[in-house]
Amino acid sequence: MTNLIVYLNGWPGTGKFTVGTQLTKRLNGILLDNHTMFNLAIALSDVQSDAYYKLCRQVRAIAFERILHLPPERAVVMTGMIAHGGPAAFAEEHWEEILALCKTRGSKLFSVQLECSTSELAKRVREPNRALNKKIVDDKLVLDLAAVRTIFDDGADFSLRLDNATLSPNECATEIQSWIGHCHHDNLND
């Protein structure tokens, strides 16, 4: 499987980074998680300010330009929360940039929405190690986000919704890898 981008999408706490780490190893790829990309803006500006979004765009442009120089056999695994209804419509803009990156690179986009129950989500968000990585640790905030915003992946070449509440990160990565292989095989035979 070559020239693919996998986007792990979901609410904070659904395990995107942990699953992405496992999946990256399996695909011989690189992981570009949303915190690697946007923590610079979080550290140097007020979140959701004009300066924050400007810095996010600058960092994204650098990261995406570098992805264009990777060999096609290197899969790219990305993580984040792409949902309608956020401030400044940044998630929608970010998704459009991901679609443009795939088009420019000639990559197929595999979108995986990780899901779990609200009780499991609240429990995961409260894990103490999340704060060390500048991740959201307020379970009420996450549940409020999930109540008013909608995760989407319009325009992806392939989409999968995966409830990972009872799967280990390794099992989840195995299932995603199998699904990608199946989609890739079917696509070659079309």
Please name which of 117, 30, 120 lies closest in space to residue 78, comparing C-alpha atoms.
30
The answer to whether 49 and 118 have CB atoms below 8 angstroms apart is: no
Least confident of 31-35, 48-52, 164-168, 185-189: 185-189
pTM of the predicted model, to two decimals?
0.89
CATH superfamily assigned to domain 4-188:
P-loop containing nucleotide triphosphate hydrolases (3.40.50.300)
The number of beta carbons lying within 10 Å of the beta carbon of residue 16 is 27
What is the C-alpha to C-alpha distance for residues 34 and 60, in angstroms, rounded to an integer? 10
pLDDT surpasses 70 at 162: yes
pLDDT surpasses 80 at 91: yes
Tens digit of each residue's pLDDT (9 = 90 or more) over 25-60: 999 999 999 988 888 998 899 988 999 999 999 999
Average pLDDT on 161-171 reads: 93
What per-residue confidence (pLDDT) applies to 184? Answer: 76
Please name which of 81, 76, 77 lies closest in space to residue 14, comparing C-alpha atoms.
81
Average pLDDT on 112-139 reads: 73
Q: Crossing angle for the helix pair 90-105 and 50-67, nearest 10 degrees? A: 10
**Rg, C-alpha atoms of the chain:** 16
Tens digit of each residue's pLDDT (9 = 90 or more) over 138-159: 666 666 777 778 899 999 999 9
In order, the DSSP letters of 28-75 are T-EEE-HHHHHHHHHHHS-TTSHHHHHHHHHHHHHHHHHHTTS-TTS-
Instruction: Please give the helix or strand (H or E) that residue 8 lies within, else none.
Output: strand 4-9
